[in-house]
Amino acid sequence: MSYENVNSTLGADFRLTARPRPVLVLAARLKAGLSPFLARYGLVVGFLALWQISATRGWVNPAVFPPLDVIVSVLWGSISSGALVDDIAISLQRAGIAFAAAVAVGIPLGLVMGQARAVEQALDPLFQFFRQTSALALYPVFILLLGLGETSKVFVIFWATLFPILLSTIGGVKEVDTKLIEMARTYGAGRLAIFRRVVLPASVPAIFVGLRLSATTALLLLIAAEMIGANKGIGFQVMNAQYNFQIPLMFAAILLLALLGLAANAALVLLQRKLCRWAQPAV
C-alpha cells in the first residue's frame, strides 16, 4: 500500500503531514543498512574501540599497547615512505612462490591419488606421518639441506601448504558421487571424459577448502620462517621492531599481516564464487 492511497481516503489536507520526513527516512535506511553490518562486525568494532579507548585513557600501558590511530599512522607512514615496501614485496614473493608450487604439485597429485587407490594406499601413511610433523620442526632440517637463504624459507612454506591442498583434493575426488560416474558411463563417457566432466568439477569446492586453509598456513609459516633467519620481510619487521622497542611499528607489521591474510582469503572466496556459481544459493 502506498502513501498515495492513504491520502486519497483521508483527504487532501492530510497530504503534507502524511509524507514521511526525509531525516526519518535516512535514519531508517541507515538502520536497515547498518544492522547486518553490526551483526557481523559489531564485535570487531567493539574490540577496536575498546583498544583505542583503553590506550588513550591510560587503562593499559600505551608503551605496550599504543593507540590504534598511532599504529595505523605508522603503518601508513612506513608504506608511503617506502620503508616497508621491500619487506612486503619479499614476503609476498616467498609466500606466493611457495603457495603456487603447492598448488601446482598438490592439485594434480591429489587428483591422481584420489582416483588411483593403489597410489593413494601406498602414499597415504607417509603423507599422514609428514603432515603430523610440524613444518617448523623440520625447518632446521631444511636449513641444513638448503642453506639459510631463500630456498629453505620458500620450501618450509611450500611443505606446510602442500598438505592441506593435497589432502582436500584427494578427499574431494574420493567423495565424488559414484552414481554420477555411473550415469556418465551409460552415456559412453570414457575415463578421460568422466574425469574432465564429472570428477574435476565435483572436486572444485573441496579443493577450495584446501586452498583457503593453505593460504592461511602460508602466511603463518612465512612469519615464523622470517623470524628465525631473515633480514627482510614482514615477519622480520615484527621481530626487529620488538627488539628495538618500536612497538607501534611492531603492531603495524602485525596489522599488515592480518590484512594480507584477509585479502588472500577474500580473493579465494571471490574466485570460488566465480567457479562454483552452481553451488550458490539463488540471489
Partner 1 sequence: MSLSAETIRGEVTIRHLSKNYTLNGRPLPVLADLNLQIRSGESLAIVGASGSGKTTLLRILAGLENADGGEVLIDGKAVSGVGAERAVIFQEPRLLPWLTVIENVAFGLDTRGVSRAEAKSRARRYVQLVGLQAFENAYPRQLSGGMAQRVGIARALAVQPEILLLDEPLGALDAMTKIGMQQELTRIWRDEDVTTILVTHDLEEAVYLADRILILPREKNAAPRLIEIDLPRPRDRSAPEFVRYREDLLNLFGLH
Contact residues toward partner 1 (CB under 8 A) are 179-180, 182-189, 193, 197-198, 201-202, 276-279, 282
- Smallest distance, Å, CB 112 to partner 1? 21
- Smallest distance, Å, CB 108 to partner 1? 20
CA–CA dist 213, 114 (Å, integer): 19
Choice between 211 and 223, CB closer to partner 1: 211
Q: Where are the alpha helices (DSSP H) in the chain?
A: 3-10, 15-18, 22-57, 68-80, 85-115, 117-132, 135-146, 150-174, 178-186, 191-194, 200-228, 234-243, 247-275
CA–CA dist 248, 116 (Å, integer): 53
- Smallest distance, Å, CB 190 to partner 1? 8
CA–CA dist 88, 111 (Å, integer): 33
Closest CA to 127 of 145, 151, 101, 109: 109
Choice between 129 and 278, CB closer to partner 1: 278
- Smallest distance, Å, CB 197 to partner 1? 7
CA–CA dist 247, 225 (Å, integer): 21
Burial of 61 (0-12, 13-18, 19+ CB in 10 A): exposed
- Smallest distance, Å, CB 180 to partner 1? 6
- Smallest distance, Å, CB 205 to partner 1? 10
Choice between 17 and 186, CB closer to partner 1: 186
With left for phi above 0 and alpha for psi between -120 and 50, is residue 147 left, alpha or beta?
A: left
Q: Could you tell me how far CA 42 lies from the centroid of its own chain?
A: 20
Choice between 187 and 245, CB closer to partner 1: 187
CA–CA dist 253, 238 (Å, integer): 6
- Smallest distance, Å, CB 153 to partner 1? 38
Provide the 8-state DSSP code for 176. Answer: S
Q: Where are the alpha helices (DSSP H) in 133-177?
A: 135-146, 150-174
Choice between 117 and 196, CB closer to partner 1: 196
With left for phi above 0 and alpha for psi between -120 and 50, is residue 231 left, alpha or beta?
A: alpha
- Smallest distance, Å, CB 178 to partner 1? 11
Choice between 131 and 197, CB closer to partner 1: 197
Choice between 62 and 171, CB closer to partner 1: 171
Choice between 131 and 174, CB closer to partner 1: 174
